[in-house]
Amino acid sequence: MDQLRFDGRVAVVTGAGGGLGKAYALLLGSRGAKVVVNDLGGGKDGAGKSTFADAVVKEIKDKGGIAVADYNNVIEGEKIIKTALDNFGRVDILINNAGILRDRSFQKMSDQDWDLIQAVHLKGSFKPTLAAWETFKKQNFGRVIMTSSNAGLVGNFGQANYSTAKMGLVGFMNTLALEGAKYNIKINTIVPTAASRLTEGILPPDMFEAMKPELIAPVVAYMAHESFEGTGQIIDSTLGYAHKAQLVRSVGSPLRNTPSDPVTIESVKEKWPKVVDMTNAKHVSPIANVTINLVERLQEFEDRA
C-alpha cells in the first residue's frame, strides 16, 4: 500500500507535550504534516505550566519535519488555532487530546474537582473546534478527533467527573458529525488505553510497558487522513487492537395492550423483561431513523387500535 501522507496539511494536537499527544504529533510530523504541538505543560491534575512542548517540536524538526510549540490552555482554544493560522496559514486536522485527572470518590468530590475536569475536557475541546470550524467549512475539509475514555463509556470508580466529561465528548461528536457532513468535516472519537503519566501506577507494570502510545497513534492518524470517510465513530484502541463501539437500543416493547389502555407502573413492570431484552438490539443512527422509528410505533398502534 502507498504510504499515507499528510503533506500540505496542518495538524493541531492539543496536550502533545507528552503521552498519547506526543505520539500523534511525532507520527503526523514524520508523514509531512506541519504540526502545532500544544501543551500547557502542567501537572497531571492540571496545576502549573511549563514549556515541555518544546522537546516534541525539537524531535519533529530533528527528523526533518515542521512544527511549532504552543503553550496555551485548551480552554482558550482559539489562541491555539491562531498559532496554526499565523504560522502555517491553515488548519486541517485537530486532535483534541489534552486532558487531566482529578480522581476522588464521589462523596469527596469538590466543585473545583468537577468544574476543572469539565472545563479542560469539554470546553477544551469545544473552543479549538469552534475556532477551526469556519476554516474547515471554507476549505471543505476538516478532520477532528475527540478523546473519550472507557471511564466514560462504562464508568470507573473515583472518576465521576472525568466519566461525565468523556461521555459528553461522544455527544459533542455525534452532533458535529451531522453538522459537518456537508462540508467534508469528519469528526471521530478515540478511546485509548495507553501507558502515560495518567495511567502510571494504575496499570500493572508489565501491562504498562506493553501499552505504548505508538500503537494507538496510527489509528488516530488514519482517522485524521483525507482518505478517511468515516464520521461519528467511536474507536477503542490499545495494544495494537482497535474496536468500534456503539450505543445500541433494544427492540423494545409496547407498554400497554391497546392504544386506549393506560400505561401504568404495573404494565411497565409486566413488559420490562421485553424492554431490556437486547436480542436483536440495533444502533439507531442517523437522527432521522429515530423519528422514523417513532412514526412506525405510532402506525403499529393505529393498526392495532
Catalytic residue list: 162
- CA–CA separation, 96 and 274 (whole Å): 40
Q: Which of 98, 132, 146, 187 binds ligand NAD (CB under 6 A)?
A: 98
Q: Which of 19, 29, 128, 232 binds ligand NAD (CB under 6 A)?
A: 19
Q: Does 192 bind ligand NAD (CB under 6 A)?
A: yes
Q: Does 44 bind ligand NAD (CB under 6 A)?
A: yes
Q: Does 149 bind ligand NAD (CB under 6 A)?
A: yes
Choose one: 24-32, 72-80, 249-257, 264-272; the region binding ligand NAD (CB under 6 A).
Answer: 72-80
- CA–CA separation, 12 and 72 (whole Å): 12
Q: Does 21 bind ligand NAD (CB under 6 A)?
A: yes
Q: Does 212 bind ligand NAD (CB under 6 A)?
A: no
Closest listed residue to residue 196, CA positions, set 110, 82, 101: 101
Number of Cα atoms under 13 Å in the Cβ half of residue 19: 23
Q: Does 94 bind ligand NAD (CB under 6 A)?
A: no
Can you tell me which residue has the cell 496499570? 203
Q: Does 91 bind ligand NAD (CB under 6 A)?
A: no
Choose one: 42-50, 85-93, 131-139, 295-303; the region binding ligand NAD (CB under 6 A).
Answer: 42-50
Q: Does 39 bind ligand NAD (CB under 6 A)?
A: yes
- Work out the angle between the directed axes of helices 160-180 and 111-118 (0-180°, nearest 10): 30
- CA–CA separation, 293 and 246 (whole Å): 18
For 305, counting Cβ atoms within 10 Å of its Cβ (0-12 exposed, 13-18 middle, 19+ buried), the class is exposed
CA dist 266 to 40, 138, 225, 272, Å?
Answer: 55, 55, 53, 10
DSSP notation for 33-85: -EEEEE-----TTS-----THHHHHHHHHHTT-EEEEE---GGGHHHHHHHHH
Choose one: 25-33, 70-78, 86-94, 223-231; the region binding ligand NAD (CB under 6 A).
Answer: 70-78
Q: Which of 41, 158, 218, 254 binds ligand NAD (CB under 6 A)?
A: 41
Q: Which of 193, 231, 236, 237 binds ligand NAD (CB under 6 A)?
A: 193
Choose one: 81-89, 105-113, 186-194, 283-291; the region binding ligand NAD (CB under 6 A).
Answer: 186-194
Q: Does 104 bind ligand NAD (CB under 6 A)?
A: no
Q: Which of 35, 36, 93, 100 binds ligand NAD (CB under 6 A)?
A: 100
CA dist 156 to 46, 112, 151, 166, 202, Å?
Answer: 20, 19, 5, 11, 12
Q: Does 128 bind ligand NAD (CB under 6 A)?
A: no
Q: Does 194 bind ligand NAD (CB under 6 A)?
A: yes
Q: Which residues bind ligand NAD (CB under 6 A)?
A: 14-15, 17-21, 38-42, 44, 46, 73-75, 97-100, 120, 124, 147, 149, 192-194, 196-199
